[in-house]
């Protein structure tokens, strides 16, 4: 395991749960506390080779205004919108964990905090022998788990927390998110409330949220992110991350 540096690894119970939003909002909130914050997206897939689309890594770099080279922030970038191992194979490439760790260590020596965003969930393979969870263990970082507050979110989040615990990984907290605008109904409200209550009862870790669905993201990323960074849930998450570094 590499030397422990201050920061965290943001993973999700699945793809599309809002990892990038939480990662970016957390990084911005930490920066607003006066800290030098580095960001990293070790592996990204589905990025247009002509750079006609804005990647998650580009969004993260922009929000903290760090001059770090893109090769450090995002060592592996593949055009196919597939799981990382499948995308790497299609590109006739191999994802090497040592390369990711080296890039991370370089970033960590230049910043007070480094917030790392994963890809997919923790059991997603990145090589024939290694998963995202293996990368987390190698980096030695505590984890923030982003999950859905909708029905089914309890099972997914508890499985992730348990799988991390089995490998000695510290989970700083579970962030329950609304990646899409929820329907306005008494049934939905009851489902959300029960998800929060059950996660608090069974996870054994701090539970944050649910975070609001921020409509501004659909029109202006920076505006929506500025609002999200000020949300009490993100501020509490920043406090947990800073507390883990003392």
CATH number at residue 158: 3.40.50.300
Q: Is residue 226 included in any domain, yes or no?
A: yes
Q: Is residue 119 included in any domain, yes or no?
A: yes
Q: Is residue 104 included in any domain, yes or no?
A: yes
Burial of 65 (0-12, 13-18, 19+ CB in 10 A): exposed
Q: Is residue 57 included in any domain, yes or no?
A: yes
Q: Is residue 1 included in any domain, yes or no?
A: no
Q: Is residue 45 included in any domain, yes or no?
A: yes
Q: Please report the pLDDT score of residue 238 as a whole number.
A: 96
Q: Is residue 2 included in any domain, yes or no?
A: no
* Count of the separate structural domains present in the chain: 1
Q: Is residue 49 included in any domain, yes or no?
A: yes
Would you give per-residue pLDDT tens digits along the chain (246 residues)?
344 458 999 999 988 899 999 999 999 999 999 999 999 999 999 987 766 567 888 889 988 998 899 999 999 999 999 999 999 999 999 999 999 999 999 999 999 999 999 998 999 999 999 999 999 999 999 999 999 998 889 999 999 999 999 999 999 999 999 877 777 777 888 998 999 999 999 999 999 989 988 776 767 878 889 999 999 999 999 999 998 876
Query: Which sign, positive or negative, has the C-alpha torsion 42, 45, 50, 52?
Result: negative
Q: Please report the pLDDT score of residue 186 as a whole number.
A: 79
Give the CA dihedral 62, 68, 72, 77, nearest 10 degrees: 30
d(CA 227, CA 160): 28
Q: Which residues form the catalytic set?
A: 41
Q: Please report the pLDDT score of residue 3 as a whole number.
A: 46
Range of the domain at 122: 7-244
């Amino acid at each position: 395991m590499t030397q422990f540096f201050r920061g965290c690894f943001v993973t999700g119970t699945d793809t599309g749960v809002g990892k990038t939003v939480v990662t970016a909002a957390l990084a911005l909130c930490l920066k607003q506390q006066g800290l030098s914050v580095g960001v990293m997206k070790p592996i990204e897939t589905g990025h247009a080779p002509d750079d006609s689309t804005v990647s998650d890594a580009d969004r993260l770099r922009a929000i903290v205004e760090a001059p770090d080279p893109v090769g450090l922030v995002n060592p592996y970038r593949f055009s196919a919108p597939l799981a990382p191992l499948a995308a790497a194979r299609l590109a006739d490439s191999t994802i090497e964990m040592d390369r990711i760790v080296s890039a991370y260590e370089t970033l960590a020596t230049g910043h007070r905090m480094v917030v790392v965003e994963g890809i997919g969930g923790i059991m997603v393979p990145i090589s024939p022998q290694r998963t995202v969870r293996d990368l987390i263990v190698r980096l030695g970082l505590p984890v923030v788990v982003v999950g859905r507050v909708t029905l089914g979110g309890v099972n997914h989040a508890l499985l992730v927390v348990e799988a991390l615990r089995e490998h000695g990984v510290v989970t700083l907290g579970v962030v329950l998110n609304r990646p899409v605008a929820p329907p306005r109904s008494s049934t939905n409200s009851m489902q959300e409330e029960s998800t929060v209550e059950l996660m608090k009862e069974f996870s054994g870790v701090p539970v944050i949220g649910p975070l609001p669905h921020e409509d501004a993201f659909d029109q202006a990323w920076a505006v929506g992110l500025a609002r999200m960074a000020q949300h009490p849930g993100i501020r509490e998450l920043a406090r947990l991350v800073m507390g883990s570094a003392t």
